[in-house]
Amino acid sequence: MSSKCNRRKFVQLGMAAGVAAAVQGMSVASAEEKPLRIGVIGMGNRGTHLLNVCLKEPGIEVAGICDIRRDAMRRGIDLVDQAGQKRPAGYYYDQFDYRRMLTRDDIEAVVIATPMQWHTTMAVDALKARKHVLSEVSATITLEECWNLVHAAEETDRIYMLSENCCYYRSNMAVLNMVSQGIFGDFTYAECGYVHDCRYLDFTPDGKLTWRGELARDYIGNLYPTHAIGPVATWLGINRGDRFESLVSFTTRQAGRTVNAIKKFGKDHPAAQTPFSVGDSTTTLIRTAKGAMIDLRYDTASARPVLNTTYYGLQGTTASYDDRDNVQRIWIDGRSEGEKWDSLETLLTEFEHPLWQRLREQAEGSGHSGGDFFVVHEFFDTIRTGRPSPIDAYDAATWSAVIGLSGKSIREGGRPQEFPDFTGGAWKTRKQTLLMG
């Protein structure tokens, strides 16, 4: 039997188990009465936060903690201990020690929260070791990595999910719900951006480049696209009825990172000479097969207050959505008053997404407007029920491909770049299962 058949069979089997359990009025987890054992790789800021969210999920046992920094690994182990679980094993010998954890049969899933440069290698290794994967963003950096991830996911029967928490924002999910009810008609235009002064993360306190600083030194283009493009892609049904066809990208010169390095360390410090490649602000225009256009901005180096780090807008033939300046407003043809926007909040009684209706209390307070709870919860629920991953390797590769393609377009003076069709034509018929659980 081919691996794809295996996967199909696994999904069917998983769904059958889910249906049987539902009929008996219990969750699959309780039906099996078996905890799901996981390992977490990367115990920095994000990994620690995700670990804490995982520890609140019923039926989850953290059996392994991996970080090349021994102190970070120990901190993770202590957190598991303090949550009342058995002290997990630690892995910290070298950069590939996570592979030792992957050889364990009792660990079924891993959460990857390491620097972006590691995501694809670790995800591919984990999928090949038959572990389910929840990977932090972005999934990949290069186009080659996009294909490696897609192939690894196609060749396994395990779940891959991208941990794109912005897709699960209450407002973004309400818009998705409206989209699925046809409120927007057809789409023509969307805009989104990640605009967040992150220069304070470029250097360690003694002036060495962090992984984020190295990324900004080694690559150009939109280096962090998924927070912005993810929710928009779900609204437009990308890889599920439409697809990204091509993009063009332009960027400013690099200035803000050097200003920051001089301010922090002085003009004679080596940090001030760092040859950063990425421009301060990058704009990318993406065209879809159905003729919609997306205006996508990326800027992590401009001096500005941290108020809202992402923004989104959607233009359909019958409605318009705009959440700039943290004000979420919508206008619906034939329903909203003449020139006046409606506040999205006032329509939530009608359009709240079913997941938020059901799980709002648990989600609120989990970080990133509830998004962090949902990525973790959905990942485990997907494993238990066998339903398709809400944000699978095709989505992850497509959204992350913006990094490589925008860089190439900029290097070629704004020349259009074609998106690979990672789904091999399946985008035409794939069902919109994203976030509709």
Ligand X SMILES: NC(=O)c1ccc[n+]([C@@H]2O[C@H](COP(=O)([O-])OP(=O)(O)OC[C@H]3O[C@@H](n4cnc5c(N)ncnc54)[C@H](O)[C@@H]3O)[C@@H](O)[C@H]2O)c1
Residue type, 105: D
Output the DSSP codes for 116-149.
Answer: HHHHHHHHHHHHHTT-EEEEPSPS-SSHHHHHHH
Nearest distance from residue 337's CB to ligand X, in Å?
36
CA angle, corner 125, sides to 124 and 130, nearest 5? Answer: 95
Interface with ligand X, residue 41, by CB under 6 A: yes
Q: Which of 54, 63, 107, 113 binds ligand X (CB under 6 A)?
A: 113
Q: Which of 21, 51, 77, 137 binds ligand X (CB under 6 A)?
A: 137
Interface with ligand X, residue 66, by CB under 6 A: yes
> Tokens for 224?
């962090």
Is residue 282 within 8 Å of 299, Cβ to Cβ? yes
Interface with ligand X, residue 279, by CB under 6 A: no
Residue type, 158: R
Residue number closest to ligand X, CB atom: 44
Size of the site for ligand X (CB under 6 A): 25
Is residue 272 within 8 Å of 260, Cβ to Cβ? no
Interface with ligand X, residue 42, by CB under 6 A: yes
- C-alpha 261/C-alpha 42 separation (Å) is 27
- 40 forms bridges with which residues in the sheet? 65, 111
Interface with ligand X, residue 98, by CB under 6 A: yes
Nearest distance from residue 49's CB to ligand X, in Å?
8
Interface with ligand X, residue 139, by CB under 6 A: no
Supply φ then ψ for residue 195, to 5 degrees. -125, 100
Nearest distance from residue 225's CB to ligand X, in Å?
11
- C-alpha 328/C-alpha 341 separation (Å) is 9
Q: Which of 115, 241, 388, 437 binds ligand X (CB under 6 A)?
A: 115
Site string for ligand X, 333-372 (x = CB under 6 A): -----------------------------------x----
Interface with ligand X, residue 44, by CB under 6 A: yes
Interface with ligand X, residue 95, by CB under 6 A: yes
Interface with ligand X, residue 261, by CB under 6 A: no
CB-based contacts of 354: which residues, under 8 Å, 6+ apart? Answer: 177, 436
Q: Given the rule CB under 6 A, which residues bind ligand X? A: 41-47, 66-69, 72, 95, 98, 113-116, 118, 136-137, 163, 165, 211, 368
